[in-house]
Structure 1
Amino acid sequence: MDSRIKYPETHRNKCAACFRQFNKLEHLVEHMRISYHSVHEPTCGICGKHCRSFESLREHLIGPLPKHECRDIFANRGCKFCLKVLESPYSQRIHQERCQLSANTGLIGRFANLGIRDNLTIGKGPQVVALACKMAGGGSDGSLDLCARVCIIDERENILFHSYVKPPIPVTNYRYETTGIRPEYLRDAMTMRQVQRRIQDFLCNGEPVWKIRPKSGRARILVGHGLDHDLESLQVEYRSEMIRDTEKYPPLMKTSKLSNSLKYLTQAYLGYEIQTGMQDPYEDCVATMRLYMRLRSQAHKIEEYPLASDPQNKNNFASWRQRELEGMSPDQMLAISRSDYYCWCLDSI
């Protein structure tokens, strides 16, 4: 006798997260096995649909082919920046005014141009910092990126470190139109080796790189956009578990799974423009830190083992459980599904 619970056929093969309908139950099980739906996915506050990224959610709400019921409600009560749905049009107006940030960073950013600012200390200090670099060009055609300016800020957007950097090889293109860097700025600047040592020691905060622990350690969380490129140019090694990169964070990527520019992310999610003329690394630091803080503050359901990679979850959708899984409802399958990426909300726990 088949002891499996029977569910209405119209809902039995429908994913409880993304609402995809499947012809066969085994296809739904396979979908759940590879989709990694979880409470950490961007979710429509109206119909409850899970989306892989905020761009997918934006398309669902206000894209060229939105879900009409959600579009109409969102038009009256939705925030176009964080995509939350508020209780009333009045609540929406108050919320969106606070959600839209301003680019009033110019004065502090200009102070950074005065020269070196070095408040990097080992021991106590900010646990989260943002870093950004500006590159000059090297090589015969000036296409080789050389770090010529670097900035680090804390969570309150205070500058901890700013310096021009003398690259190890000659600069052949200062890219002045976008970087504002002139030859005289680099003439007496800190060398690459000096900057590398200061930043490496500050990030590790007294811990060897190979002993850094993601939780309960002293090393600092590093925020930025395109940090692989920045760290490589600085010749700094750092553990990936401690990096929060807005270029590679799945909820901030395009529906096509390609990266968005920091300029776009700042305009779409914070509501102001950056990189409109000569670019200041302080401005980039502020944008990435604000994006990180906004996503870290998301109120997601707390799970004891939130990642699919946690050992306790390794058999949740094992093939030998196929018959058992086919006996579950879509909601039950969603309940045991876990995320395949580290949600930044977990940094606040």
Structure 2
Amino acid sequence: MFSSNYLGPLSRASCSRTFSAQGCDLCLKLYDSPSSLVKHIEICPLSAPASLGTKILPFAGSVDEKHTTKDAKAIAFNCVMVGGGTDGSLDLCARVCLVDEDEDIIFHTYEITGLTEEHLRNSKSHKEVQDKILEILYNGESARRLMSDSGKARLLVGHDLKHGLDCLRINYPGHLLRDTAKYRPLLKTNLVSHSLKYLTKTYLGYNIQTGEHDPYVDCVSVMRLYKRMRAQDHQVNGIGTPNSDSGFESQKAEELENMTPDELYQLSKSNYKCWCLDSKKAAGPVDF
């Protein structure tokens, strides 16, 4: 059983009542009893990561070799935009941050403008930042093998990734992107994205972006969202396989019209790739 926030309208009112009594609104997991849920709720909300502020890190603008040698499967990305041009309408990326799944910073820089003269003094050029990010993401993989699911290239996690990547003029394969602004279970019912601030409060239990924009806090939050969605434990048969037959194509229009809502629900299939498959792929092949 799942929350209506996760897989859309529930098929039965009894399932909704059960989740209301035994389900966690943050992590969306169902517990054996209301008492088990009460114990879980005490530890489920996460604490907000500490802000970096505007301090310059020891390895700002460079790769932290200690972390990039780890077997990181996914990297979270965030950048701070500033207005450029004579009227401020040009988006420029002023600050870039990458973190791994352990929330360790592996790349952090003040890029293009910096924030003060001190930050600007050691800032990296656009090309240097672009090359470093691609080096981390490619993970030693050749450009020709990026389209393969079995390669070493890392998943890139973020919120509204296209905006940041376009600003840095970086192209990365769509099947390696995990965007919380595009993931179907996190969208509004009209398929419009929520803000990262809303998603963090709703599914992680803390507030972000209450003052200045800190890319590290946003990076950690979007990585936590990805891992929380990836950890969803549910059946995989016919779920989350993109471009799969929805089940309706094999039915005649008259047959569909005579079906009950529950019958239509059982026949339907998701038309997005569920992030739980990322962890299942790492563990071994999944039978559909």
Query: TM-score band, normalised by the shorter chain?
Result: 0.7 to 0.9
Report the CA distance between 1:148 and its aligned residue: 1.1
Runs of 4+ in 1 over 4 A off after TM superposition: 67-71, 73-76, 120-124, 323-336
In structure 2, the residue matched to 1:54 is 6
Deviates more, 1:73-82 or 1:338-347: 73-82
Taking the TM superposition and a 5 Å limit, the aligned residue runs for 1:1-349 are 43-44=2-3, 51=4, 53-54=5-6, 70=16, 76-106=21-51, 109=52, 113-114=56-57, 115-119=60-64, 125-166=71-112, 181-303=115-237, 306-307=240-241, 309-310=243-244, 313=245, 316-318=247-249, 321-322=251-252, 337-349=268-280
In structure 2, the residue matched to 1:10 is none
Report the CA distance between 1:79 and its aligned residue: 2.2
Task: For CA contacts below 8 A with separation 6 or more, give which structure has more relative contact order.
Answer: 1
Counterpart code for 2:196: L
CA contact (8 A) 1:213 1:219 kept: no
Deviation sequence 1:79-102 (CA, Å, 0-9, x none) = 232344433332112111222101
TM-score calculated relative to the size of structure 1: 0.68
With over 3 angstroms needed to count, the CA separation of the structure-2 counterparts of 1:206 and 1:336, relative to structure 1, is farther
TM-score calculated relative to the size of structure 2: 0.81
With over 3 angstroms needed to count, the CA separation of the structure-2 counterparts of 1:323 and 1:240, relative to structure 1, is closer
With over 3 angstroms needed to count, the CA separation of the structure-2 counterparts of 1:75 and 1:324, relative to structure 1, is closer
Report the CA distance between 1:332 and its aligned residue: 6.9
Instruction: Output the CA distance in 2 between the equivalents of 1:77 and 1:162.
Output: 41
Instruction: Output the CA distance in 2 between the equivalents of 1:346 and 1:324.
Output: 35
Indicate the RMSD between aligned Cα atoms, in angstroms: 3.2
Instruction: Output the CA distance in 2 between the equivalents of 1:112 and 1:286.
Output: 17
Instruction: Output the CA distance in 1 between the equivalents of 2:8 and 2:249.
Output: 28
Deviation sequence 1:49-74 (CA, Å, 0-9, x none) = xx5x53956xx8xxxxxx79946x65
CA contact (8 A) 2:61 2:129 kept: no
Instruction: Output the CA distance in 2 between the equivalents of 1:149 and 1:185.
Output: 10
Instruction: Output the CA distance in 2 between the equivalents of 1:250 and 1:74.
Output: 20
CA contact (8 A) 1:55 1:253 kept: no
CA contact (8 A) 1:209 1:238 kept: no
Secondary structure of the 1:118 match is coil
Report the CA distance between 1:264 and its aligned residue: 0.7
Instruction: Output the CA distance in 1 between the equivalents of 2:29 and 2:240.
Output: 23
With over 3 angstroms needed to count, the CA separation of the structure-2 counterparts of 1:75 and 1:123, relative to structure 1, is closer
Instruction: Output the CA distance in 1 between the equivalents of 2:264 and 2:144.
Output: 38
- Which ranges in structure 2 are unaligned for 5 or more consecutive residues? 281-288
Structure index of larger Rg: 1
With over 3 angstroms needed to count, the CA separation of the structure-2 counterparts of 1:271 and 1:299, relative to structure 1, is same
Secondary structure of the 2:165 match is helix
CA contact (8 A) 1:123 1:206 kept: no
Secondary structure of the 1:291 match is helix
Report the CA distance between 1:76 and its aligned residue: 4.6
